[in-house]
Structure 1
Amino acid sequence: MLGNITLIPVVGVPEIRPGDDLARLILAAAQATAPIADGDCLVVTQKVVSKA
């Protein structure tokens, strides 16, 4: 069985600084552009995780 993959960028995430609540910032930006739904897969780069 073949499925489809749709990539939707989350825009509006501000510059990440040490101590930032990365999950809150990503969720807020996603709610404004393309809300995250059950079954969605969210990909976050290692670079941004290291910054937070």
Structure 2
Amino acid sequence: MFEKRAGFRDRQVAQGVEIVASTPQELDERVAAEIPKWSTFVKKVGIKIE
């Protein structure tokens, strides 16, 4: 696994990444919950795809 590589976890944490173990279903649920939040943000600030 990635987290077993030397320094991987430390580099991720230093960048503000929260490492969480989960099932594929839990990941799907989290992503589904994040999409509406980020969609609203993107529309509000006017981000456009190039």
Structure 1 length-normalised TM: 0.29
Structure 2 length-normalised TM: 0.30
Whose Rg is larger?
2
